[in-house]
Amino acid sequence: MIIYHVNMKYESCLESYQDKPTLNPKVDDRRMKNIISDVNDSLGEKCGLSENLSVAVVNGEYKSLEMVIVCKLENVSLHDCEKWIKKHFLENYSLEKVWLENKGEISAKEFKNLTERANGKGFGYLHNVWSNLGFDYFENRQFTVQEMMYPDKKVSKKEILRMADEIMADGTLLEEIERIFSADNKRKYYGNPVHYMIKAGTSEAARDIIEILILALKANKRLLGRRVSYVNKIKEGCYDEEDLTNLFSSSSGAAVAIDMSGNDEDHGVYATAYHEVVDFIANLMGDNHLYTLCFLVQITEKPGFGKDLVAAVQDDVTLIEICEGKGDKEQAVNYLERLTAKTDFETTRAELAKALPKKTKTFSATEVYKTYNKWFSNGLTNKVYCAYKRVEKVNIEVKKGKNEPYADLQKMVGLTEIKTLVDQIINSAKIRKARSKMGMDTHSFSQHMIFTGNPGSAKTTVARLLADILKKEGILETGNFVECGRADLVARYVGWTAKTVKEKFNKARGGILFIDEAYALVDDTNSFGAEAINTIVQEMENRRDSVIVIFAGYPEKMEQFLAGNEGLRSRIAFHLDFPDYNADEMLQILELMVEDKGYIIDEDVKAKCHEIFSVACSKAEFGNGRFARNLLEQAIMKQSDRLVKVTKGKKIGRKELSTLVADDFSVNAEKVYKKPKTAIGFV
């Protein structure tokens, strides 16, 4: 819906008619208030043109009424709306001439302010008009909305390309500009054939891209309005929200931008916390994509629920990816000049060039914005609030851990076979790159795998590290890691399972799809497990170059699973067995965990733990690494209890807090086994 603020001028008849109210006499404010209130009683939301037009008078004076009109321009034209308004006033009031002037599109926020001002003057309870049309979404606590109204001006392709050059546009944006201005397109609004995923380092850089796209689309009559509702700070409770539903529907003819970063406090838990949010927004896009243009904004350092949402909608909505641009130093300075022109601070081109990062030849839009923000902050202290020039800053050094997945894998106990395989995959990729550079033939090969082993043998941990390693080596594009089981793949209704499986492959694009306890897909019930397996086999082949599938589970059950589907077996390149750890290896694992948690153990503790592990390893399904973790956690609990009782409220030293003694490991962890392992052989 597009919102306009207009002035209606009128001329009254020389005489009034008894059957019609008059707007003619020069009246005082009280009389005008009553007239406008009466007029609004006959108007309001969805008052004309088959509920495609809403009208509210928000102010008035003799021979002039100020009004807001809301039009569903995908169904009716603005000319039709104006014609209806003129006819309504001519037929219902003693007027001989009516015309509209000073039409201008406004934001939903301005609409709200105008109606609230009108309410205060007693022109009728116009809040109902604003809220009933679905614009009452600004106070929602699950998300925030910022509206952007882009200039209402005709721009040429040349002008758009100049603007793109100013922001160092990426090739993806330039290609889309060419498509928008293509002579193959009709210059008339029928709906949205495509939507956009914007990848940028900052929201400001993303909005620069959105502005250019909006102006280009509007110039080619591909949009009806110039309003963009930018939705950000989306919380995990934002599902089934009527306000967000209303925002999408009330933005028909205009655009909605969804910042997929989510809420800053929630990073790292998107796999579970934002599952319902992703489904909700995906459904909203599916329901409204024809008339509401959607921008999905992914901030590089805060990907949030981005990959899940893109995966959920890409089968139903055509998405075009637009990335932020890069440029040389001269282009970066030009960009900076464009940004600094909006401030009152005086600066020179040389000063801006000096502000850019040193020893850098290519600059991203994000780096330009970071430079601008730093420049602006310095300008506040050096040019405006000069008393703060000599204030010393508080410096706190924060040490960040290095992400070295390959080193982490090498430090893991045992796993010789998987370590060798990773080296082979990396070296093979290096050779393919070398052959490609020399113009020699290269071929890709299947890298799907099966991990077999008992619980706690590090299957999932290794799979996660493998995704990070292959991403870092440039073998995988994204390094996405998607973990799922039967419940995540088999749907409840006919026809849904295949779609669900494909969505998982979409989420894992450029990474690894890890299917745990895959044999659970096979059962004797009349379920959709077989459909899931068939779809997995098909997608493994179709996406062999973009997704690595890893099946994991107990050795015996995985062998039965493969035996039932030869098509599956033939597509798996590597079968890796994760053997149970022996007592020596379990002790090594424990020592690594102790070191990682900042504790100290002596030789007596190691001897006691080795004895515990020797007993544990003789049991079936003893838990492997999980058992070592449980043992340590129980020992830490017992140490805490011991220290509190021994010190009796006295100060506890650092050494005591970090030392675990042998008695701390006299816990219940080793008593949870089921039965001894069965020996293999003949009786």
- The pLDDT-based confidence of 123 (bands split at 50, 70, 90) is confident
- The pLDDT-based confidence of 212 (bands split at 50, 70, 90) is very high
Specify whether 546 is located in the same domain as 425: yes
Specify whether 293 is located in the same domain as 409: no
- The pLDDT-based confidence of 396 (bands split at 50, 70, 90) is very low
Residue 621's pLDDT is 63
Specify whether 588 is located in the same domain as 554: no
Does the residue 569 lie in any domain? yes
Specify whether 306 is located in the same domain as 340: no
Residue ending a domain, choose from 104, 132, 160: 132
44-48 vs 53-61, strand pairing mode = antiparallel
Structural element, H or E, at residue 294: strand 293-299
| Cβ pair 479, 303 in contact under 8 A | no
What is the residue range of 97's domain?
2-132
| Cβ pair 479, 511 in contact under 8 A | yes
Least reliable range by pLDDT among 82-86, 447-451, 527-531: 527-531
> Of 206-220, 260-274, 574-588, where does the model show the most confidence?
206-220
Name, in order, each residue with C-beta under 8 angstroms of 495's C-beta and a sequence gap of 6 or more.
none
Using the predicted structure, report yes or no on whether residue 266 has a pLDDT greater than 50. Answer: no
Helix residue ranges per DSSP H, 323-364: 329-340, 349-355
Structural element, H or E, at residue 230: strand 227-232
| Cβ pair 105, 214 in contact under 8 A | no
Residue 131's pLDDT is 84
Report DSSP state, residue 553.
E
Specify whether 339 is located in the same domain as 320: no
Least reliable range by pLDDT among 41-50, 105-114, 453-462, 630-639: 453-462
Residue 401's pLDDT is 45
CATH number of 248's domain: 3.40.50.300
Mean pLDDT across the stretch 218-239? 91
Least reliable range by pLDDT among 21-30, 221-230, 445-454, 468-477: 21-30
Name, in order, each residue with C-beta under 8 angstroms of 132's C-beta and a sequence gap of 6 or more.
45
Specify whether 419 is located in the same domain as 357: no
Residue 390's pLDDT is 61
Round to whole Å and give the CA distance between 185 and 174: 17
Specify whether 524 is located in the same domain as 466: yes
CATH number of 620's domain: 1.10.8.60
Using the predicted structure, report yes or no on whether residue 72 has a pLDDT greater than 90. Answer: yes
Specify whether 299 is located in the same domain as 159: yes
Residue 146's pLDDT is 93
| Cβ pair 207, 148 in contact under 8 A | yes
pTM above 0.85, yes or no: no
Residue 268's pLDDT is 43
Does the residue 397 lie in any domain? no
Structural element, H or E, at residue 61: strand 53-61
Reported as half-sphere exposure (CB side, CA atoms, 13 A), residue 510 has a value of 11
- Report residue 269 as tokens: 């838990």
- The pLDDT-based confidence of 154 (bands split at 50, 70, 90) is confident
Mean pLDDT of the residues in the chain: 82
Round to whole Å and give the CA distance between 70 and 68: 7
Residue 661's pLDDT is 85
Number of folded domains that form the chain = 5
Name, in order, each residue with C-beta under 8 angstroms of 645's C-beta and a sequence gap of 6 or more.
none
Specify whether 159 is located in the same domain as 48: no
Residue 199's pLDDT is 92
Residue ending a domain, choose from 560, 578, 596: 578
State the residue for tokens 């019609």.
Answer: 20
Mean pLDDT across the stretch 329-348? 80
Residue 17's pLDDT is 46
Residue 285's pLDDT is 94
Does the residue 564 lie in any domain? yes
Residue 569's pLDDT is 77
Residue 20's pLDDT is 58
Specify whether 39 is located in the same domain as 172: no
Mean pLDDT across the stretch 24-44? 78
Residue ending a domain, choose from 132, 165, 194: 132
- DSSP string covering 124-192, please? --THHHHHHTT---TT-SS-EEEEEE-------HHHHHHHHHHTT--HHHHHHHHHHT-TTS-SS----
Backbone phi and psi for residue 229, each to the nearest 5 degrees, phi listed first: -95, 110
Using the predicted structure, report yes or no on whether residue 32 has a pLDDT greater than 50. Answer: yes
Does the residue 420 lie in any domain? yes
Least reliable range by pLDDT among 3-12, 26-35, 203-212, 475-484: 26-35
Residue 156's pLDDT is 93
| Cβ pair 233, 305 in contact under 8 A | no
Between 174 and 604, whose confidence is greater?
174
- Report residue 642 as tokens: 């011991």
Q: Is the four-CA dihedral 206, 211, 217, 220 of positive or negative sign?
A: negative
Type of residue found at 117: R
- The pLDDT-based confidence of 669 (bands split at 50, 70, 90) is low
